[in-house]
Amino acid sequence: MKVIDIIRTSSAPILSFEITPPERGHGIEEIFRTIDVLMPFQPQFINVTYHQPQVEYVEENQVIRRLHKRKKPGTVGICTAINHKYKVEPVPHLICGGFTKYETEDALIDLQYLGIENLLALRGDPPPGQKKFIPESDGHHYAAGLVEQIARMNRGFYLEPLDNAVPTDFCVGVAGYPERHFESPNFERDMQHLKHKVECGADYIVSQMFFEYESFVRFREHARDIGITVPILPGIKPVSRLSQMEMLPSLFHISIPDRLLRRMEETRTRQEEREAGMRYMAELLERLLQADVPGVHIYTMGKALDTRRLLEYVFGTQVDEAEEKRTYVTKKPVD
C-alpha cells in the first residue's frame, strides 16, 4: 500500500521508523532484531537508508582507477526481506549521488518488478572523505530532478522512447528541513526548493530531525503559506546520552535546545541522563500528536531499545485483535 494512501485512510496519526543497514559482513539478523523490538507498536512503514560508497583512487600499472568501497549491503534486498517477514511497507531511499539517470531508471524498473511501491527521493550526502556533493556526469544534481524522473516514469515516459511502455506506480516522499538545509543560503530559499520538489511530483514530506516543537510548527506553517499542501510528517530521534548532543549538530546541522541540554547536564547518573532525554522527547512527541500531524517518523539510528523506551513513555501497546487495528493508551512518564 502506498504511504500517501496509508496517511489519507488512517483515522489516527501513523507511526513509521527509519533503520540503517548493518555494516558490510554482518547479517540481516541485526535488522530483524531491531524491528522485532519495535513491532509491538505496529509501524505503518519502515524506511531503509542508503549512502554513497566510499571512493578511493589507486594506481595500477601507471593507470589511476576509481574504486567504490561499499560499507553497507544493498537497500533493495533489505526492503524485500522486511516486506516478506513483517508485511510492513518498506521505503527504500533512492539518491542522486553515484547514479546516472540510466542507472536510476534501471533501479526503478527493478523496484517495480519487486512490487515496491514507495520511495524516499534524496540528493544524498557526499561519499565519505569528500566534502562537496558531485553528481555523476549524467546524473541528477538535486532531488527535484530525481522526483521528476520518477514522476515521468509513473506517466510511462522513459529516457528512451519505448513501444507499449508500462508506467511505474511509485509513491514518492522527499525530505524537508525545519532549520533549513545547511547548504541553502537562507530558510526562504530552502522552502522554495522544497516546494519545487512537490511540484515535480512528491506525494509527502518527511522532516529532518528536530528538537524544538516551535521549529516544526514554524516550518509547517511556512510550507502552507507558500502553497505546499502535501502531508508533512515530523521526524524525531530519541536521545539518551549527553554525548549525542555534541555529535548530532555536526552530523545533521541541527540545533539542540538549551533546556534539553540543561535537563541532561543536571543528572547525576547515566540512568538519570537517559531518562531526562527520554522525558524531553516524550513531551515533544505528545505535543506533536496533539498538533494534528498525520504521523510521526522516528530515526532509530540502530537504537531500537531507546526508540522502544520513548514510545513506552507515550503509548501503550494495546491491540484490539477483533478489529485488527492499533490503539494507543496515553502513558505519562513516571517521576
Q: Which domains does the chain have, with CATH numbers?
A: 3-326 (3.20.20.220)
Question: 315 CB contacts (<8 Å, ≥6 apart)?
Answer: 41, 328, 329, 330, 331
What phi, psi does 36 have (nearest 5°)? -55, -40
Residue whose C-alpha is closest to residue 121's, from 155, 149, 90:
149
pLDDT for 55 beyond 90: no
For position 250, what pLDDT does the model report? Answer: 87
Average pLDDT over residues 179-188: 94
The percentage of the chain sitting over the pLDDT mark of 90, rounded to a whole number, equals: 72
State the sign of the Cα–Cα–Cα–Cα dihedral 58, 59, 61, 62: positive
Residue 272, pLDDT above cutoff 90: yes
Among residues 227, 236, 258, which one has the least CA distance to residue 245? Answer: 258
Name the nearest CA neighbour of 333 among 280, 289, 291. 280
Min mean pLDDT across 55-69, 236-250, 263-277 is at 55-69
pLDDT at 156 over 60: yes
10 Å Cβ neighbour count for 100?
A: 16
- Mean local confidence (pLDDT), 244-254: 89
At 58 the pLDDT is: 57
Q: Dihedral of the CA atoms 26, 28, 34, 40 (nearest 10)?
A: -170
What per-residue confidence (pLDDT) applies to 287?
Answer: 97
Q: Which pLDDT does position 39 carry in this prediction?
A: 95
In the chain, % of residues over pLDDT 70: 87
Is pLDDT at 262 greater than 70 in this prediction?
yes
Please give the average per-residue pLDDT across 227-235, as a whole number.
98
User: Is pLDDT at 226 greater than 80 in this prediction?
Assistant: yes
> Residue 62: what pLDDT?
63
**Residue 71 burial (CB < 10 Å; 0-12/13-18/19+)?**
middle
Q: Are 114 and 104 in contact (CB under 8 A)?
A: no
* 88 Cβ contact list (under 8 Å, min separation 6): 43, 44, 45, 46, 82
DSSP letter string over 167-232? P---EEEEEE-TT--TTSSSHHHHHHHHHHHHHHT--EEEEEE-S-HHHHHHHHHHHHHTT--S-E
pLDDT at site 86: 96
Question: Residue 300: which of 8, 49, 13 has the closest Cα?
Answer: 49
Does the predicted TM-score (pTM) go above 0.85?
yes
Calculate the CA 177 to chain-centre distance.
12
Mean pLDDT of 22-29: 78
Handedness of CA 35, 36, 40, 44 (dihedral sign): positive
Phi and psi torsions of 259, nearest 5°:
-70, -30
Q: Would the pLDDT of 27 be above 90?
A: no
* 35 or 126, greater pLDDT: 35
Phi-psi category of residue 255: left, alpha or beta, with phi > 0 → left and psi -120 to 50 → alpha:
beta
Q: How many CB atoms lie within 10 A of CB 123?
A: 22
Question: Residue 64's pLDDT is what?
Answer: 62
DSSP alpha helices (H): ranges in 53-181?
Answer: 75-86, 101-113, 143-154
Q: Tell me how far apart the alpha carbons of residues 28 and 188 are, in angstroms, rounded to a whole number.
A: 41
Examine the pLDDT at 319 and tell me if it is beyond 50. no
- Indicate the burial class of 94 (C-beta count within 10 angstroms; 0-12, 13-18, 19 or more): buried
Q: Look at residue 26 and tell me whether its pLDDT is greater than 80.
A: no
Q: What's the mean pLDDT in 287-313?
A: 94
329: pLDDT strictly greater than 50 = no
Segment 62-113, tens digit of pLDDT = 666 655 555 555 788 899 999 999 999 999 999 999 899 999 999 999 999 9
Q: What's the average model confidence in pLDDT over 202-230?
A: 98
Q: Is residue 321 scored above 70 in pLDDT?
A: no
pLDDT at residue 164 tops 70: yes
Q: How far from 331 is each of 143, 185, 310, 334, CA to CA, in Å?
A: 39, 42, 11, 9
The answer, yes or no, to whether residue 52 has pLDDT greater than 80, is: no
**What secondary structure letter does DSSP report for 66?**
E
* Count of positions (residues) in the chain: 335
Lowest-confidence segment of 11-15, 73-77, 149-153, 242-246 by average pLDDT: 73-77
pLDDT of 1 over the 70 cut: yes
**Burial class for 196, CB neighbours closer than 10 Å (0-12, 13-18, 19+):** middle
